[in-house]
């Protein structure tokens, strides 16, 4: 496929903010993509060259892209810099500058999506001497053949910042509209931009959407799901989970307390310690692979965990769900998440850091076992299976999550207090009949924790400090997510909770210097003291209150936000949603 065709779709998507229109545009496009190109074109459509769960990233700094523009156009870097300052968008800059160049020197070859995809993938794999120059050349090669519009989206894709407002919800609906609309009894009225959905067919439509969503949750692979949907509902239903392909983890809404938890999940219920570590989804099929909650592969980072699973869990293939929690070597006491968080992204001295920051694996679920999909098996049976396959469990190594099955509020309260005393965050309360529902907070289980709800937010920008903080980025612009459009919506600025001095940061604290180091490579634009950054770094923040506010694009503002911890185990797709904020706002005391 010509890259220009895809770029045309990007332009159309950007020209509307209406979800239904976006769905229609994408679904029409889906019908035109040849089957053998579906994989890479769908990734590019999302602004990616690797699926979300793939660890590889393009990782190219803006300054290098600027060099590539220089190499492709011959325009000197100062001039490019000037235009960049004006447009604030390096993609737009590439567009404007290629437009002024003579046609004859540019557009020498017509770009294909495959060529773009292949070159961008190569960026991630380059290593060793001359890597910088080679990266610049790969991008420059593409830019030389690109039309101005192509250059704009190419640069944004390289910077992993496409911004065409295409969220997972829209992708999902577009798959239905493109291939399964005849099964739903619905149609799209283009004139009115309306979904025509007779009342009698509502259930049918919802069921088909659910079917696609379910397939996506199990595979996290839009092209596999699109291909199945194209072949019909039966093929879609055939999609099942498979060890080695990460599935979206089940999430748990919050209950107000023990009584409320019983009300939601029913009696009897299973109470479990809520460990303050991070999620591990562990797959075995041949080898063991470990994924985080945002489905990043961290097998390399936790070789000792893979080994323990190999030794202690019986079975040819399986998918387990659990929480790895750090503990102090001397005392064995649990440590809060931030103490071990650095292990997640660590690329060197792995054995050493594993020694220094050991983790205990608490397994709490099994989703697949020896070829059998267990998502519809009741939780009590899954837990019983776990108990039978985890051999010689060992504290501080590998064990089942501490559990108590009860219908007594008093016993539950005591268990909750015991969990807190042991250094945990609270308890999880799970329905014994509950299914494993990937991807959503559905109330098969709830969490109970004493502290005020924190929010997970992604940094989209920052401001350089003043005075003695002058050399650091010292205030951070934070955003939540609109899952339908994929847009990140600002909700405030946070500058408290960080440390100024290294000495103050020994116990898991984070300095401004550290924040600055993490953010500097992500800067995409500078305007005075404010910078925009690629949304990658996820923070957990607390706050006094949520206020309605026109200042930020989310329509809300956090009052007195304060940094709690870095969430290296989360990506921008995992941050809290606008809906979460609305719910918290509605439930604030006195409202
Ligand atoms: P939260 O991050 O506050 O939404 O709480 C849910 C998280 O708690 C899950 O994603 C797990 O990482 C973690 N967790 C800790 N212990 C358990 C447990 N026993 N069962 C389920 N999740 C747990």
DSSP sequence for 137-191: HHHHHHHHH--HHHHHHHHHHHTT---S---HHHHHHHHHHHHTHHHHT-EEETT
Does 145 reside within a domain? no
User: Residue for token digits 């190109």?
Assistant: 37
**Residue 124: exposed, middle, or buried by beta-carbon count in 10 A (0-12, 13-18, 19+)?**
middle
Higher pLDDT residue, 54 or 178?
178
pLDDT greater than 60 at residue 589: no
> Which residues pair with residue 285 across a beta bridge?
287, 317
Handedness of CA 129, 133, 136, 138 (dihedral sign): negative
* C-beta 138 within 6 A of ligand 1: no
Q: Which of 428, 448, 468 is the last residue of a domain?
A: 448
Does 105 reside within a domain?
no
Ligand 1 centroid vs 249 CA: distance in angstroms? Answer: 10
Cα 257 vs. chain centroid, distance in angstroms?
29
Total domains in the chain come to 2
d(CA 156, CA 177) in angstroms, rounded, equals: 28
Whole-number mean pLDDT of the chain? 92
Q: Considering only CA atoms, which of 428, 408, 407, 410 is closest in space to residue 419? A: 428
Residue 416 Cβ inside 6 Å of ligand 1? The answer reads: no
Q: Are 414 and 521 found together in one domain?
A: no
Q: Which residues contact 31 (CB under 8 A, 6 or more apart)?
A: 178, 179
- For residue 271, is it within any domain? yes
Give the position, in ligand 1's atom list, of the atom nearest the Cα of 279: 12
**Is the shortest distance between the CB of 279 and ligand 1 below 6 Å?**
yes
The CATH number given to whatever domain includes residue 347 is: 3.30.470.30
Residue 345, pLDDT score = 85
Q: Say yes or no: 428 and 378 in one domain.
A: yes
| Whether residues 502 and 417 fall in one domain | no
Q: Which of 67, 248, 274, 430 is catalytic?
A: 274
Residue 587 has pLDDT above 90, yes or no: no
Supply φ then ψ for residue 279, to 5 degrees.
Answer: -65, 140
What beta strand segments (E) does 275-425 contain?
Answer: 278-285, 287-291, 317-326, 359-369, 372-373, 398-400, 403-406
Q: Which of 404, 425, 448 is the last residue of a domain?
A: 448
pLDDT band at 591 (very low <50, low <70, confident <90, very high): very low
Beta carbon of 248 within 6 Å of any ligand 1 atom: no
Q: Other CB atoms closer than 10 Å to residue 192's CB: what's the count?
A: 9
Ligand 1 center to 275 CA (angstroms)? 7
Ligand 1 center to residue 502 CA distance, Å?
A: 31
Residue 494's DSSP bridge partners are: 476
Do both 269 and 405 map to the same domain? Answer: yes
- Segment 39-53, tens digit of pLDDT: 999 999 999 999 877
Determine if ligand 1 sits within 6 Å of the CB of residue 364: yes
- Is 274's C-beta closer than 6 angstroms to any atom of ligand 1? yes
Q: How far apart are the first and last CA of the chain?
A: 54
Query: What is the gyration radius of the CA atoms in the chain, in angstroms?
Result: 25
Instruction: Give the ligand 1 atom nearest the CA of 430.
Output: 20
Does 103 fall in a domain?
A: no
> Looking at ligand 1, which atom is closest to the CA of residue 447?
5
* Cβ count near 126 (within 10 Å): 14
> Regarding predicted confidence, which is higher, 106 or 126?
126
274 is a catalytic site residue: yes
Note if the bond before 582 is cis, omega within 30 degrees: no
Q: What is d(CA 124, CA 209) in angstroms, rounded to the nearest whole number? A: 34
Residue 419 lies in a domain: yes
Mean pLDDT of 465-487: 91
Same domain flag for 468 and 580: yes
Task: Note whether 339 and 274 are same-domain residues.
Answer: yes
Span 300-322, average pLDDT: 97
Cα–Cα separations (whole angstroms), residue 90 to 94, 134, 161, 250, 409: 6, 20, 10, 38, 59
- The Cβ of residue 284 has, within 10 Å, a number of other Cβ atoms equal to 21
This prediction has a pTM of: 0.78
Domain, as residue range, for 514: 455-590
Domain end, chosen from 448, 464, 483, is at: 448
* 190 inside domain: no
CB count in 10 Å sphere of residue 185: 16
Q: What is the mean pLDDT of residues 286-298?
A: 93
Please, which pLDDT band fits residue 451 given cuts at 50, 70 and 90?
A: low
Confidence at 85, pLDDT banded by 50, 70, 90: confident
381 lies in some domain: yes
């Amino acid at each position: 496929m010509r890259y220009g065709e895809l770029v045309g779709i990007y332009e159309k998507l950007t020209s509307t903010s209406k979800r239904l229109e976006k769905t229609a545009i994408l679904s029409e496009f889906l019908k035109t993509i040849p089957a053998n190109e579906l994989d890479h074109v769908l990734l590019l459509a999302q602004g990616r060259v690797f699926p979300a769960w793939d660890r590889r990233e393009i990782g190219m700094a803006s300054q290098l892209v600027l060099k590539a523009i220089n190499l492709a156009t011959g325009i000197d870097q100062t001039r490019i810099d000037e235009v960049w300052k004006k447009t604030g968008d390096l993609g737009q800059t590439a567009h404007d500058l290629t437009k002024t160049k003579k046609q004859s020197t540019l557009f020498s070859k017509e770009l294909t999506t495959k060529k773009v995809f292949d070159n961008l993938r190569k960026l991630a794999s380059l290593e060793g001497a001359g890597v910088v120059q080679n990266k610049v050349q790969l991008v420059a090669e593409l830019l030389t053949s690109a039309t101005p519009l192509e250059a704009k989206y190419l640069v944004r894709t390289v910077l992993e910042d496409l911004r065409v407002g295409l969220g997972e919800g829209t992708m999902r609906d577009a798959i239905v509209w493109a291939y399964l609309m005849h099964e739903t009894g619905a149609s799209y009225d283009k004139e009115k931009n309306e979904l025509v959905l007779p009342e009698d067919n509502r259930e049918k439509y919802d069921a088909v959407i659910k079917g696609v969503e379910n397939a996506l949750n199990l595979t996290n692979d839009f092209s596999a799901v699109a291909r199945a949907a194209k072949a019909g509902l039966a093929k879609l239903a055939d999609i099942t989970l498979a060890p080695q392909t990460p599935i979206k983890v089940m999430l748990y809404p919050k209950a107000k307390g023990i009584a409320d938890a019983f009300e939601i999940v029913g009696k009897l219920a299973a109470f479990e310690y809520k460990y303050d570590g991070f999620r591990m989804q562990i797959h075995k099929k041949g080898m063991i692979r470990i994924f985080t909650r945002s489905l990043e592969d961290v097998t390399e980072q936790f070789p000792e965990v893979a080994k323990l699973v190999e030794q202690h869990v019986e079975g040819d293939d399986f998918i387990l769900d659990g929480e790895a929690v750090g503990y102090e070597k001397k005392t064995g006491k649990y440590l809060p998440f931030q103490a071990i968080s650095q292990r997640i992204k660590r690329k060197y001295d792995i054995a050493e850091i594993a020694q220094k920051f050991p983790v205990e694996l608490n397994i709490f679920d099994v989703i697949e076992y020896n070829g059998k999909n267990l998502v519809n098996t009741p939780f009590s049976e899954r837990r019983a299976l776990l108990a039978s396959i985890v051999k010689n469990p060992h504290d501080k190594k590998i064990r089942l999550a501490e559990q108590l099955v009860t219908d007594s509020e008093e016993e539950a309260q005591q268990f909750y207090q015991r969990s807190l005393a042991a250094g945990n965050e609270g308890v999880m309360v799970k329905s014994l009949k509950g299914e494993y529902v990937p991807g959503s907070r559905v109330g098969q289980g709830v969490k109970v924790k004493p502290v005020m709800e924190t929010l997970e937010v992604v940094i989209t920008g920052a401001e350089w400090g003043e005075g003695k903080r002058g050399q650091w980025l010292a205030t951070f612009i934070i955003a939540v997510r609109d899952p339908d459009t994929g847009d990140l919506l600002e909700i405030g600025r946070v500058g408290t909770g960080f440390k100024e001095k290294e000495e103050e940061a020994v116990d898991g604290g984070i300095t401004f210097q550290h924040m600055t180091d993490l953010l500097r490579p992500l800067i995409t634009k500078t305007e005075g003291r404010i910078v925009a950054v690629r949304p990658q770094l996820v923070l957990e923040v607390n706050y006094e209150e949520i206020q309605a506010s026109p200042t930020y694009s989310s329509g809300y503002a956090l009052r007195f936000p304060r940094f709690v911890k870095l969430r290296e185990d989360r990506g921008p797709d995992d941050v809290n949603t606008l809906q979460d904020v609305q719910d918290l706002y509605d439930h604030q005391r006195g409202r």
